C-alpha cells in the first residue's frame, strides 16, 4: 500500500485516529440504517414520540409545555399521551426541531413534520459515532486503534438505530455526554488549555439545557478540570487556578439552564419536574432500592442495548454485550499480573502515564456506577428501566466493549468482524420491509437503505481489518528495530512548569 494511501485510509485526517474512513463508514451506516428504520415505523408510533413532537411545536409558537395542559398536536394518526409528560425537560433539543416541525404542521403536513424531525434526530444520533471515537482518543491517547473499534461498536448497537428512527431528546443528551467524556478525558490526560476550557463550558451548558441526566457528566467535567494534568489560567496558577476552572462548567450550566429548573420548581412543584398523578393515572409499583437492585428484570431492561426487536431471553443481545466485557475483565487481570512482575526500571518508565490513566478509568467507572444508582432510585419511585436511558453513559460502555474485542490485536482481526456481523441480527429485526403506510415510498426506502447498509457494513469491516493488519505490521517492524537494545531507560522526574504550576505527571502524551 502506498504511503499516502495508507496515511489517508489508516492514520486518519492529519493523523487524527478518530477521523478515519472506518469511523466515516460506521457513521454513514447509522444514517442509512436510520432511514430504513424511519421508513419501517409509522409516524407517532409511540406516545413518547408524540409528546416530543408536540413540545417542538409549542416552542415554535413561543410557548413551553405544562404537564396538565396535555398534548395539542393531534393530527389524526398515531398515539397520544393523556398529559404532556415530557414537559419537565429543558428546551434545547426542541429548539433544534422547531424550525422544521412548526412550519410543516402549520402548513398542513403533519406526516412530513414527524419524518423531518426524525431525520434531524438521525443526524444527531449519527454524530454519536465520531464523538465517541474522539472521546476514546482523548481518554486513551496511546491506544491508536481504540477509536476505530469504539466507532464500530457504537454504529452497530441496536439501541442507537432504534433511537435514530424516532424523536426523543435522549439522542442529543447522548451526543453531548460523549463530547463531555472526551473533554474530561483530555483534561486528565493532556492538561487544560483555554480552548478546552471554553469547549467544556459550551458542552456542559448545552447538556444541562437538554436533559437532567447530563448532570453526571457535568460533575465529571468539573472534577476532571480540578484534577487536570496541568492548568494555566492567565496569571493565576496552582490550586486556585484549578478551583476556578472547575467552577467554570458549573457556572456555564447554571447560567444556561438554571432558569428552567427554577421554572420546574414553580410549575411542577419539584426541581426535576417529574410528572405528578393525573386523572386516570395508574400508579406503578414502588420498591426499595435493594429490591430493585436484586431484580433481574431491572438489569435486563436497562442494559438491553443490543436487543432490537428480539426477545429479552434471546442469547444474541447478551452475547454481544457480555462476551466483550468478560474479555476486557480477563485482559485487565492479565495486565495487572504483568505489571506486578515487571522490572523496577520498566515500571518507572510507565509511571508517568499511570496516574492520569488511572484517573480516566476511575472517572468512567464512577459515572456508570452513579448512573446505575440513579436508575435504581428512579425505578424504586415508580419509574421504568428503559434501555435508551443507558445512552447517557454510552462512551464508557463502548470503550469497555471495544477494549474487550481489541484486547488482542491478532484476535481483533477476527473478533471485531464476527461481532459486527452478529450485531446485524438485532438490527435486522427492527426493519419492516412492507414499510410504513403513511410514509411515501417507504417500501422502496427500506429496501434501498438496507442494501446500502450492507455495502457500508462490508466497507467498515474491510477498512477495520486493513487498519489492524497495518498496525500489526508496524509493531513487528518496531520490535525488530528495538531488538538490539538492552538498556532499560529511566523515567524523567516530573518538573515544575516555568510559572510554578506543578503538573500531576510529566507530559508524555505527544504522539
pLDDT, tens digit, 9 for 90 and up, residues 480-506 = 766 554 444 444 444 444 343 434 343
Containing H/E element for 209?
none
Closest CA to 33 of 161, 171, 166, 167: 161
Report pLDDT for 437.
93
Res. 302: pLDDT tops 90:
yes
Res. 374: pLDDT tops 70:
yes
Cα distance between residue 141 and residue 226, in whole Å: 20
Report pLDDT for 44.
95
Report pLDDT for 508.
37
Residue 19: strand, helix, or coil: coil
The band of 455, judged by pLDDT with boundaries at 50, 70 and 90, is very high
Report pLDDT for 492.
47
Q: Chain-centre distance of CA 290, in angstroms?
A: 28
Q: What is the mean pLDDT of the chain?
A: 88
* Residues 213/257, Cβ–Cβ less than 8 Å: no
Report pLDDT for 312.
87
The band of 269, judged by pLDDT with boundaries at 50, 70 and 90, is confident
Helix residue spans in 286-389 (DSSP H) = 289-293, 296-302, 315-341, 344-380
Q: What pLDDT, in 10s, does the model give residues 95-144?
A: 999 999 999 999 999 999 999 999 999 999 999 999 999 999 999 998 88
Q: What pLDDT, in 10s, does the model give residues 380-432?
A: 988 889 999 999 999 999 999 999 999 888 899 999 999 999 999 999 999 99
Report pLDDT for 476.
75
The band of 454, judged by pLDDT with boundaries at 50, 70 and 90, is very high
Cα distance between residue 306 and residue 311, in whole Å: 11
pTM above the 0.85 mark? yes
What residue ranges do the domains of the chain occupy? 3-277+286-478
Task: Output the CA–CA distances (angstroms, integers) from residue 82 to 47, 68, 70, in the order listed.
Answer: 9, 9, 6
Residue 207 or residue 332, greater confidence: 207
Containing H/E element for 449?
helix 442-482
Res. 293: pLDDT tops 50:
yes
Span 22-32, mean pLDDT? Answer: 97
Res. 348: pLDDT tops 70:
no
Span 242-248, mean pLDDT? Answer: 95
Cα distance between residue 93 and residue 211, in whole Å: 9
Res. 150: pLDDT tops 80:
yes
The band of 347, judged by pLDDT with boundaries at 50, 70 and 90, is low
Res. 511: pLDDT tops 50:
no
Residue 495 or residue 252, greater confidence: 252
Report pLDDT for 336.
83
Residue 192: strand, helix, or coil: strand
Q: Which of 28-37, 101-110, 271-280, 337-346 has the lowest mean pLDDT?
A: 337-346
Q: What pLDDT, in 10s, does the model give residues 44-77?
A: 999 999 999 999 999 999 999 998 888 999 999 9
Residue 375 or residue 474, greater confidence: 375
Res. 92: pLDDT tops 70:
yes
Report pLDDT for 499.
41
Report pLDDT for 280.
66
Amino acid at each position: 500500500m502506498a504511503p499516502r494511501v495508507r496515511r489517508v485510509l489508516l492514520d486518519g485526517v492529519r493523523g487524527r485516529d478518530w477521523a478515519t474512513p472506518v469511523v466515516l463508514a460506521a457513521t454513514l451506516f447509522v444514517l442509512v440504517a436510520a432511514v430504513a428504520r424511519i421508513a419501517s415505523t409509522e409516524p407517532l408510533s409511540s406516545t413518547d414520540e408524540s409528546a416530543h413532537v408536540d413540545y417542538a411545536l409549542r416552542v415554535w409558537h413561543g410557548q413551553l409545555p405544562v404537564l396538565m395542559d396535555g398534548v395539542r398536536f393531534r393530527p389524526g394518526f398515531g398515539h397520544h399521551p393523556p398529559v404532556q409528560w415530557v414537559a419537565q425537560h429543558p428546551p434545547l433539543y426542541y429548539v433544534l426541531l422547531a424550525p422544521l416541525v412548526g412550519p410543516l404542521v402549520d402548513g398542513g403536513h403533519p406526516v412530513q413534520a414527524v419524518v423531518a424531525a426524525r431525520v434531524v434526530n438521525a443526524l444527531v444520533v449519527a454524530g454519536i459515532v465520531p464523538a465517541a471515537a474522539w472521546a476514546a482518543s482523548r481518554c486513551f491517547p496511546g491506544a491508536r486503534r481504540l477509536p476505530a473499534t469504539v466507532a464500530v461498536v457504537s454504529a452497530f448497537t441496536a439501541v442507537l438505530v432504534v433511537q435514530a428512527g424516532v424523536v426523543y431528546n435522549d439522542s442529543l443528551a447522548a451526543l453531548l455526554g460523549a463530547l463531555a467524556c472526551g473533554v474530561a478525558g483530555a483534561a486528565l490526560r493532556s492538561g487544560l488549555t483555554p480552548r478546552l476550557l471554553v469547549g467544556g463550558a459550551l458542552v456542559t451548558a448545552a447538556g444541562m439545557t437538554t436533559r437532567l441526566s447530563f448532570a453526571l457528566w457535568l460533575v465529571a467535567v468539573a472534577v476532571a478540570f480540578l484534577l487536570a494534568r496541568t492548568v494555566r489560567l492567565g496569571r493565576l496558577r496552582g490550586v486556585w487556578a484549578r478551583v476556578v476552572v472547575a467552577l467554570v462548567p458549573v457556572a456555564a450550566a447554571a447560567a444556561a439552564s438554571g432558569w428552567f429548573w427554577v421554572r420546574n420548581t414553580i410549575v411542577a412543584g419539584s426541581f426535576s419536574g417529574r410528572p405528578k398523578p393525573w386523572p386516570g393515572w395508574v400508579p406503578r409499583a414502588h420498591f426499595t432500592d435493594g429490591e430493585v437492585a436484586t431484580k433481574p428484570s431491572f438489569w435486563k431492561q436497562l442494559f438491553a442495548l443490543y436487543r432490537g426487536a428480539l426477545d429479552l431471553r434471546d442469547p444474541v443481545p447478551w452475547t454481544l454485550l457480555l462476551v466483550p466485557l468478560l474479555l476486557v475483565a480477563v485482559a485487565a487481570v492479565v495486565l495487572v499480573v504483568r505489571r506486578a512482575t515487571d522490572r523496577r526500571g520498566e515500571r518507572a518508565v510507565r509511571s508517568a502515564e499511570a496516574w492520569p490513566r488511572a484517573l480516566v478509568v476511575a472517572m468512567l467507572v464512577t459515572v456508570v456506577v452513579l448512573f446505575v444508582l440513579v436508575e435504581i432510585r428512579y425505578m424504586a419511585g415508580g419509574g421504568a428501566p428503559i434501555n435508551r436511558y443507558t445512552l447517557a453513559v454510552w462512551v464508557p460502555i463502548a470503550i469497555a466493549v471495544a477494549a474487550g474485542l481489541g484486547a488482542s490485536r491478532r484476535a481483533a482481526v477476527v473478533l471485531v468482524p464476527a461481532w459486527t456481523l452478529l450485531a446485524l441480527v438485532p438490527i435486522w429485526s427492527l426493519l419492516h420491509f412492507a414499510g410504513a403506510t403513511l410514509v411515501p415510498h417507504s417500501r422502496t426506502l427500506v429496501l434501498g437503505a438496507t442494501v446500502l447498509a450492507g455495502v457500508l457494513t462490508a466497507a467498515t469491516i474491510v477498512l477495520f481489518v486493513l487498519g489492524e493488519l497495518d498496525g500489526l505490521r508496524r509493531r513487528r517492524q518496531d520490535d525488530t528495530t528495538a531488538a538490539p537494545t538492552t538498556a532499560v531507560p529511566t523515567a524523567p522526574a516530573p518538573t515544575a512548569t516555568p510559572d510554578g504550576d506543578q503538573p500531576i505527571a510529566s507530559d508524555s502524551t505527544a504522539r
